[in-house]
């Protein structure tokens, strides 16, 4: 037998997935780096909801940028109306 010293401590100490498996107990696979689940339970790259809840966005009418744009247009229209009123 080889006298190679195995260093599996850090590997075994890595955070575990913990998702419920089909047999009812917790998954013991290592969690993907930076995530809480393993590659089979939602930790795979590209999985999960996008940042800032982009799934819920339908048309962008109420985004911060759209609201600011409308506010700017309203202010400009108000100033134009005021100017036209002063010209009379
Ligand atoms: Zn898992």
Mean pLDDT, consecutive 10-residue stretches, the chain (88 aa), reads 86 94 95 93 87 80 95 98 93
CA 53 – ligand 1 centroid, Å: 24
Q: Which two tokens stand for residue 17?
A: 């997935």
CA 43 – ligand 1 centroid, Å: 8
The DSSP secondary structure of 11-51, one letter per residue, reads HHHSPB---B-TTSSB--SBPPTTSSS-TTTT-STT-SPPG
CA 18 – ligand 1 centroid, Å: 6
CA 85 – ligand 1 centroid, Å: 69
CA 27 – ligand 1 centroid, Å: 5
- Torsion angle in degrees (nearest 10) through CA of 24, 26, 28, 30: 130
Full-model pTM:
0.50
Q: What pLDDT was estimated at residue 1? A: 66
Q: What pLDDT was estimated at residue 2? A: 83
Q: What is the distance between the alpha carbons of residues 49 and 8, in angstroms, rounded to a whole number?
A: 33
Q: What pLDDT was estimated at residue 38? A: 95
Q: What pLDDT was estimated at residue 55? A: 76
CA 14 – ligand 1 centroid, Å: 13
Q: What is the distance between the alpha carbons of residues 20 and 42, in angstroms, rounded to a whole number?
A: 12
CB within 8 A of 23, min separation 6: which ones? Answer: none
Q: What pLDDT was estimated at residue 49? A: 77
């Amino acid at each position: 037998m080889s006298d190679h010293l195995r260093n599996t401590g850090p590997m075994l100490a890595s955070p575990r997935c913990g998702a419920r498996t089909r047999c009812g107990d917790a998954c013991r696979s290592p969690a993907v780096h930076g995530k809480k689940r393993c590659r089979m339970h939602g930790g795979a790259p590209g999985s999960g909801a996008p940042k800032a809840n982009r799934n819920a966005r339908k048309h962008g009418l109420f985004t911060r940028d759209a609201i600011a744009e409308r506010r700017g247009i309203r202010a400009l229209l108000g100033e134009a109306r005021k100017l036209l009123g002063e010209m009379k």
